[in-house]
Chain A
């Protein structure tokens, strides 16, 4: 069955430190992969997405993610975390680029940033 796993429920980092949030997926076809961020009281916002081509994708707010087919992973990274990055992060896989009617989400990783 299709699934997305985010192994880390909660991560705490210091401001300025680097960040990597893990995401592993199980999907039979070519995956379309997404990372969303949800700040308190706000809707999910798309950070970046991977459809094809370069396996290292750049997103908004200085985030990037690397698709590794051999590891079925799509980890999110940021070189230097800012306090405003504290939020919930969701990895998701979809069946197609835009008509992602059935996005499959991971359980999310809550990021806490210490000053």
Chain B
């Protein structure tokens, strides 16, 4: 099946710094990618929909100025957590689909903010 890859898989940063997480579709082009967040023992929550060449669509309650999403190419979307704080520590997962087909998920990126 199609492959979606995230980098880094694990990152630790100091409070107040910014962290960028990449999501790549390795063998297909994705005009739309999705970013989720998963807190421990909680379900995956959709944060935003990343649209190639246009602004991302954020879910209610997600701060767009804090979670910057850029989808500059058909194979890459990035999520930047700006001025990260310990409460932003979480597991971030992206997904993408080729055309209108099945969703494929990345392996996730664990962010720890000290």
Contact = CB atoms under 8 A, between A and B. Distances in A.
B46 A43 contact: no
B70 to A, nearest CB: 19
Contacts of B46: 101-103
A105 B97 contact: no
- Chain A residues touching B, majority SS: loop
Nearest to B104: A43
A4 B43 contact: yes
Interface string B97-111: 100111111111000
Interface in A31-58: 36, 38, 41-46
B44 A105 contact: yes
B93 A43 contact: yes
Interface size class, chain B = 20 to 34
B44 A41 contact: no
B106 A43 contact: yes
A108 B34 CA distance: 19
A2 B103 CA distance: 20
Contacts of A36: 105
Interface in A77-115: 90, 98-108
A100 B101 CA distance: 10
Contacts of B41: 9, 107
11 contacts: A42-B107, A43-B108, A45-B1, A45-B105, A46-B102, A98-B100, A98-B102, A99-B100, A105-B44, A107-B41, A108-B43
Interface of B: 1, 4, 6, 9, 32, 34, 41-46, 49, 59, 93, 95, 97, 100-108
Given A43-B6, A44-B105, 13 more contacts: A4-B43, A36-B105, A42-B107, A43-B106, A43-B107, A45-B1, A46-B102, A98-B97, A98-B101, A98-B102, A102-B46, A105-B43, A107-B42
